[in-house]
């Protein structure tokens, strides 16, 4: 890898084609996406700047462009040169105007473990005064200039699709991803453009449905999403009233949208049990009756997860079910079903997280399926972790235990395959694995006939969602959707597509290229795709809606 500091050399005048405006005269365009903690926006008449201040705040140029060649230009100012870390991200590398010790520097995989110093920031930047930044990536070489004078060049610079982890880049197929960050500086951005011969792929618009710290609630977590028979979107969550942990005063809540996600009603209580844990909402819609079922797990707020005992007592996890017959506006009193759906030697138990499904094909058409997980504590045996299925063949009146996986799996979701088989896609737990576990049932979820790990579905040990988008229709292949943080830690929420019933996942869309965790997918009546997901270490639960797939 070659790094050259080439001061006072003019930047190459390569042009690439289409120019995409991200910020113009201080105003965000439709191609811009603010990612991270809430950013203060400035549209000040005196300097026409978009203002960023504080750490973990970014302005992304869409998700990126499809070509590996691009010119990035920004005109901006920063308020100080004190090692603020302010800079531009390109393909997972940071190019800092004011790095450690006030140096112009680069950080990222091509630079190794230490930052690469290129120049003194004070030789090129005056605090508070506008300066121009130009970065050109062309045929694997990156050049970087400030105020028209080249400060560095990097050979063998990778495309975004080539950055580790390979399971992620091979799916999103983006050539250049870029963002501005303020870090410890106050950054005023006047203009920001990307020019490329590739197409710009936008990040989906997002709206925050649950914000931690609002509505008298410390933390909102554990999203679940369904669409009712009438087309109403129901967005469920846990409302952790007095703390962010898994043991607290936790209620299950829902918000409703009757206009395709444009507007949302107030929070509705689905399950509240006297200050105890009444969480893990796992809804499923019975399309034949219109009734919406929601299964939940309960434990005393005085008993933390590590102290949960096996069995059915007050120190155990217990299972409840409730339903709505008025499109999610009101909910029946919860009914306990623990002894029907839990074995006595199971201790920890969770419904979902996420939503259930109703089978549409084959012998078990109409069966309701709820994905679950449990910890097994058999007398004299080892402690093991499993995913399992609950099912109902009488429209939710009674529930039975179905198939359970081998040890090493945890939170899961189910999807029906073209041949009527049920695929259970599971998080790893208690085993040194980083790829999702996949179990197949040929009898509607009663037993599993095969198990494998999916080499494309990388995970940071986190819940994920899987959903059918459509069945095969003539020349149009069936499509499965999968969402999770597609990294080795909880970041980079991505939606993948499979056209062969989950054997491969060749395509993807970036949903949120920063801190993110649990998610759930729903297909809207008009074919658009809704993804409800946690972001920023549980600071909010957002809804992203993507266009319909052709």
Which secondary-structure segment (H or E) carries 169? helix 166-172
Q: What is the pLDDT of residues 239-297, one digit of tens each?
A: 999 999 999 999 999 999 999 999 999 999 999 999 999 999 999 999 999 999 999 99
Assign residue 363 the CATH number of its domain.
Answer: 2.120.10.10
In a shared domain, residues 164 and 303: no
In a shared domain, residues 175 and 293: no
In a shared domain, residues 196 and 246: no
Q: Is 200 exposed, middle or buried (0-12, 13-18, 19+ CB in 10 A)?
A: buried
Q: What is the pLDDT of residues 264-277, one digit of tens each?
A: 999 999 999 999 99
Average pLDDT over residues 160-180: 95
In a shared domain, residues 173 and 223: no
pLDDT for position 43: 45
Whole domain around residue 33: which residue ranges? Answer: 3-201
In a shared domain, residues 241 and 194: no
Q: What is the pLDDT of residues 500-524, one digit of tens each?
A: 999 999 999 999 999 999 999 999 9
Model confidence band, residue 55 (pLDDT cutoffs 50, 70, 90): confident
Mean pLDDT of the chain: 94
pLDDT for position 482: 98
In a shared domain, residues 151 and 231: no
Question: Would you say the pTM of this structure is higher than 0.85?
Answer: yes
Instruction: Give the Cα separation of 470 and 371 in Å (integer).
Output: 21
Question: Which runs of E-coded beta strand occur in 121-184?
Answer: 131-138, 141-146, 149-154, 178-181
Q: How many domains does the chain have?
A: 2
pLDDT for position 39: 46
Instruction: Give the Cα separation of 284 and 337 in Å (integer).
Output: 16
Long-range contacts of 25-32 (CB under 8 A, 24+ apart): 25/190, 25/191, 26/50, 26/188, 26/189, 26/190, 28/59, 30/202, 31/61, 31/62, 31/200, 31/202, 32/59, 32/60, 32/61, 32/62, 32/192
pLDDT for position 17: 87
Percent of the chain with pLDDT over 70: 96
pLDDT for position 380: 87
pLDDT for position 90: 98
In a shared domain, residues 228 and 196: no
Task: Return the top range by mean pLDDT from 54-58, 165-169, 500-504.
Answer: 500-504
| 486, 492 Cβ separation under 8 angstroms | yes
Last residue of a domain, one of 201, 217, 246: 201
Can you tell me whether residue 171 is helix, strand or coil? helix
The neighbouring-strand residues paired with 467 are 481
pLDDT for position 248: 93
- Report CA torsion sign: 309, 310, 315, 320: positive
Chain Cα centroid distance, residue 291: 29
pLDDT for position 14: 66
Instruction: Give the Cα separation of 413 and 298 in Å (integer).
Output: 20
Last residue of a domain, one of 180, 201, 222: 201
Assign residue 150 the CATH number of its domain.
Answer: 2.60.120.200
In a shared domain, residues 85 and 225: no
In a shared domain, residues 181 and 218: no
Q: What is the pLDDT of residues 336-373, one digit of tens each?
A: 999 999 999 999 999 999 999 999 999 999 999 999 99
In a shared domain, residues 168 and 27: yes
Instruction: Give the Cα separation of 493 and 497 in Å (integer).
Output: 14
In a shared domain, residues 172 and 248: no
CA atoms within 13 A on the CB side of 140: 5
In a shared domain, residues 354 and 423: yes
147 contact partners, CB below 8 Å, separation of at least 6: 124, 131, 132
Last residue of a domain, one of 174, 201, 228: 201
């Amino acid at each position: 890898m070659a790094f050259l500091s080439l001061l006072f050399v003019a930047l190459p005048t390569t042009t690439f084609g289409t120019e995409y405006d991200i910020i113009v005269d201080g105003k965000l365009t439709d191609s811009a996406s603010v990612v991270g903690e809430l950013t203060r926006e400035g549209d000040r008449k005196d300097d026409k700047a978009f203002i960023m201040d504080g750490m973990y705040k970014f302005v992304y140029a869409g998700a990126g462009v499809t070509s590996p060649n691009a010119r990035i230009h920004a005109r901006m100012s920063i308020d100080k040169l004190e090692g603020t870390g302010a800079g531009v991200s390109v393909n997972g590398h940071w190019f800092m105007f004011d790095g450690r010790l006030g140096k112009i520097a680069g950080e990222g995989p091509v630079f190794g473990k230490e930052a690469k110093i290129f120049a003194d920031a004070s030789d090129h930047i005056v605090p508070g005064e506008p300066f121009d930044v130009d970065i050109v990536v062309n045929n694997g070489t990156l050049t970087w200039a400030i105020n028209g004078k080249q400060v560095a060049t990097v050979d063998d610079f990778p495309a975004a699709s080539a950055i580790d982890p390979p399971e992620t880049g091979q799916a999103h197929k983006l050539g250049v991803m870029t963002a501005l960050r303020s870090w410890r500086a106050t950054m005023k951005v006047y203009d920001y453009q990307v020019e490329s011969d590739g197409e710009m792929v936008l990040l989906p618009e997002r709206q925050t449905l649950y914000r931690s710290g609002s509505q008298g609630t410390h933390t909102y977590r554990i999203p679940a999403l369904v669409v009712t028979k009438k087309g109403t979107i129901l967005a469920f969550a846990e409302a952790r009233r007095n703390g962010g942990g898994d043991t607290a005063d936790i209620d299950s809540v829902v918000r409703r949208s009757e206009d395709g996600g444009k507007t949302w009603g107030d929070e509705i209580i689905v399950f509240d049990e006297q200050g105890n844990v009444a969480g893990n909402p796992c809804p499923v819609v019975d399309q034949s009756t219109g009734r919406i079922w929601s299964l939940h797990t309960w434990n005393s707020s005085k008993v933390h997860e590590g102290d949960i005992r096996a069995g059915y007592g007050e120190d155990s996890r217990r299972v409840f079910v409730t339903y709505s017959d008025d499109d999610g506006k009101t909910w029946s009193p919860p009914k306990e079903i623990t002894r029907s759906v839990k074995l006595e030697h199971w201790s920890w138990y969770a419904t979902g997280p996420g939503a259930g499904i109703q089978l549409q094909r084959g012998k078990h058409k109409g069966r309701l399926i709820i994905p679950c997980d449990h910890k097994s504590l058999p007398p004299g045996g080892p402690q093991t972790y499993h995913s399992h299925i609950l099912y109902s063949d009488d429209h939710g009146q009674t529930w039975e235990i179905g198939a359970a996986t081998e040890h090493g799996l945890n939170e899961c979701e189910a999807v029906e395959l073209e041949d009527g088989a049920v695929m259970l896609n599971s998080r790893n737990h208690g085993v040194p694995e980083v790829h999702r576990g996949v179990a197949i049932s040929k009898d509607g979820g009663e037993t599993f006939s095969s198990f494998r790990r999916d080499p494309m579905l990388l995970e940071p040990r986190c819940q994920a969602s899987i959903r059918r988008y459509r069945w095969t229709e003539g020349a149009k292949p069936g499509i499965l959707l999968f969402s999770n943080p597609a990294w080795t830690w909880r970041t980079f929420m991505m939606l993948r597509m499979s056209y062969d019933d989950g054997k491969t996942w060749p395509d993807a869309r970036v949903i949120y290229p920063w801190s993110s965790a649990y998610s759930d997918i729903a297909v809207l009546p008009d074919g658009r795709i809704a993804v409800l997901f946690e972001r920023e270490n549980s600071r909010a639960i957002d809804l992203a809606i993507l266009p319909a797939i052709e």
